[in-house]
């Protein structure tokens, strides 16, 4: 990171998570002396960090963590797997409102929120979308809906009680210690989906759909650049920003990179995108109808089909203009680093 250290006290909410831990490490690496973490549990040790454990859905816990803090970077969010709306609403929306309230009560000056590029994604192709693109009218999944609701609250709070706010919308985060993207590809390759019957790795669509991946350290870089510029009178307050690597690539290229380097066959069974989408909707309604009798967790949900079969690319021009964002790590270098990490993990029997 090229930012200079400050005398501010930083709190990373969700600092033990995938993105949050990178945020903590970046702050320490640039020389920050006052770094704190708030999370459900402590998962790593660092003598340069003050840890507070607690629940984001408990306002008193959040207030306790925010006392004496200048900058809050809110990265906490549940993983996007098989949870219901009420759970996501409690954590993403009510939890974020607790962070806002705590910041206002404790005199925090800056709040940077980690949102999602998918707050504008309803399943249709998105090509080089910028921040003027409106939110969706309808959402397929509770995660993106609740991220949108939380982002709205963060941006609306800008300037209230002296707290400046902004929102960072990353797309397709990946990197070492990733717990969703690359592990998901490897799980698929090992035969946990339909390929256990077909003996082929499945691809949704013809593979031409583009996607914006973002290496984790570039997302961290964007957060810190924004936090350094988020002062009274700056154009950042109350604004949202898409963050990507700026290198759109076919979605399935990343999956095939994983498969190839771990000795799996590349995708060979290509299922039509439209057909799979209709199939996923039918399965979703069957699961809903049967839910009073049996709990089903369909693998092929409409949102998962859309995520892997639709084009999703975003403009980063606004972030470049307002706070000088430029990716530090290229897509190829990010893939190389991630591959090196997962190969080491695999040698230990973890994947």
Write down the residue that tokens 């993207």 correspond to.
Answer: 181
Of 99, 72, 112, 130, nearest in space to 225 by CA: 112
What span, in angstroms and rounded, lies between the C-alpha atoms of 51 and 230? 25
Please provide the DSSP assignment of 207-257 as one string.
S--EE--EEHHHHHHHHHHHHHH-STT-TTTTEEEEE--S--EEHHHHHHH
Cα distances from 255 to residues 156, 252, 339, 348, in angstroms, run: 38, 5, 12, 22
Task: Give the SS3 label for residue 23.
Answer: helix
Write down the residue that tokens 């930012």 correspond to.
Answer: 3
23 phi, psi to nearest 5 deg? -65, -45
Of 156, 15, 11, nearest in space to 75 by CA: 15
- The number of beta carbons lying within 10 Å of the beta carbon of residue 247 is 15
Element (H or E) spanning 114, and its range?
strand 110-114
> Is 139 one of the catalytic residues?
no
Task: For Cα atoms 345, 269, 332, give the angle at the middle one, nearest 5 degrees.
Answer: 45
Of 39, 18, 20, nearest in space to 28 by CA: 20
**Of residues 10, 143, 259, 273, which has the active-site annotation?**
143
Query: Looking at the chain, which runs of residues are DSSP E strands?
Result: 10-13, 35-39, 49-53, 71-74, 110-114, 126-129, 164-170, 173-174, 202-204, 210-211, 214-215, 239-243, 249-250, 269-271, 312-314
What residues are labeled active site?
143
């Amino acid at each position: 990171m090229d930012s200079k250290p400050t005398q501010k006290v930083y709190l990373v909410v969700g600092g033990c998570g995938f993105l949050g831990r990178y945020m903590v490490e970046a702050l320490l690496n640039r020389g920050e002396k006052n770094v704190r973490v708030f999370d459900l549990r402590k998962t790593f040790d660092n003598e340069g960090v003050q840890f507070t454990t607690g629940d984001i859905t408990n306002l008193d816990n959040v207030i306790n963590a925010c006392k004496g803090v200048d900058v809050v970077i809110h990265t906490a969010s549940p993983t996007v797997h098989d949870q219901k709306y009420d759970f996501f609403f409690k954590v993403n929306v009510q939890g974020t409102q607790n962070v806002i309230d705590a910041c206002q009560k404790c005199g925090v000056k800056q709040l940077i929120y980690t949102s999602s590029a998918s707050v504008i994604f309803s399943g249709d192709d998105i090509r080089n979308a910028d921040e003027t693109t409106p939110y969706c009218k309808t959402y397929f999944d509770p995660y993106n809906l609740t991220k949108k609701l939380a982002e709205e609250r963060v941006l609306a709070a800008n300037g209230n009680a002296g707290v400046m706010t902004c929102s960072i919308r990353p797309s397709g985060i990946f990197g070492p210690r990733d717990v969703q993207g690359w592990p998901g590809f490897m799980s698929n390759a090992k035969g946990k989906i339909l390929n256990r019957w077909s003996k082929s790795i499945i691809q949704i669509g013809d593979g031409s759909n583009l996607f914006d991946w973002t290496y984790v350290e570039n997302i961290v870089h964007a957060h810190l650049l924004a936090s350094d510029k988020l002062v009274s009178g700056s154009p950042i307050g109350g604004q949202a920003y898409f963050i990507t690597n700026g290198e759109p690539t076919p979605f399935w290229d990343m999956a095939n990179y994983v498969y190839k380097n771990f000795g799996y066959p590349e995708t060979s069974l290509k299922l039509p995108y439209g057909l799979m989408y209709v199939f996923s909707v039918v399965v979703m309604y069957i699961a809903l109808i049967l839910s009073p009798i049996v709990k089903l967790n369909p693998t092929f949900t409409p949102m998962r089909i859309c995520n892997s079969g639709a084009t999703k690319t975003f403009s980063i021009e606004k972030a470049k203009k307002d706070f000088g964002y430029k990716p530090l790590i290229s897509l190829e270098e990010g893939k190389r680093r991630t591959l090196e990490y997962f190969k080491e993990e695999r040698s230990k029997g973890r994947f």
